[in-house]
């Protein structure tokens, strides 16, 4: 990595400022500490592909969600998507989670509504 860093510094001196390659080298060199952090801690991944892959569907759909119909519709869609993703993060099948919650919601006491949140949810069959 030291040799690679030295090579990048040398290459930066050879390229014209403002070019695409100069911008790429400047970007990497300014973030060198963060880019090479994984060398100091073996538990850190070399890349962030896992995080990128998890947020990709939301980044791709972002422009589509601008056309939810109204502010209220957009807020409802955002709430539903948040519930689905939270269910996934907590290890639940989103369909099973939503089905169970929607069936229990009409009879759920308001004081116990927090039990239906994904991080607290326990299916009736597991009780």
> pLDDT per residue over 44-73, tens digit each?
888 888 888 887 877 777 667 777 788 888
The predicted pLDDT at position 125 comes to: 52
Of residues 7, 83, 5, the one with CA closest to residue 39: 5
The predicted pLDDT at position 93 comes to: 94
Query: CA-based angle 32:37:41, to the nearest 5?
Result: 165
The encoded tokens of residue 16 equal 């014209």
The encoded tokens of residue 2 equal 């030291």
Q: pLDDT per residue over 108-122, tens digit each?
A: 999 999 999 998 998
The predicted pLDDT at position 28 comes to: 95
Confidence at 14, pLDDT banded by 50, 70, 90: very high
Full-model pTM: 0.50
């Amino acid at each position: 990595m030291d040799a690679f860093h030295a090579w990048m510094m040398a290459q930066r001196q050879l390229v014209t400022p403002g070019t695409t390659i100069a911008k790429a080298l400047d970007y990497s060199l300014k973030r060198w500490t963060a880019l090479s952090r994984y060398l100091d801690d073996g538990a850190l991944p070399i890349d962030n592909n896992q995080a990128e892959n998890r947020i990709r569907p939301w980044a791709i759909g972002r422009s589509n969600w601008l056309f939810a119909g109204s502010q209220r519709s957009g807020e409802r869609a955002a709430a539903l998507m948040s519930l689905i993703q939270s269910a996934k993060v907590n290890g639940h099948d989103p369909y099973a989670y939503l089905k169970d919650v929607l069936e229990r919601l009409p009879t759920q006491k308001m004081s116990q509504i927090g039990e239906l949140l994904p991080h607290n949810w326990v299916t009736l069959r597991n009780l």
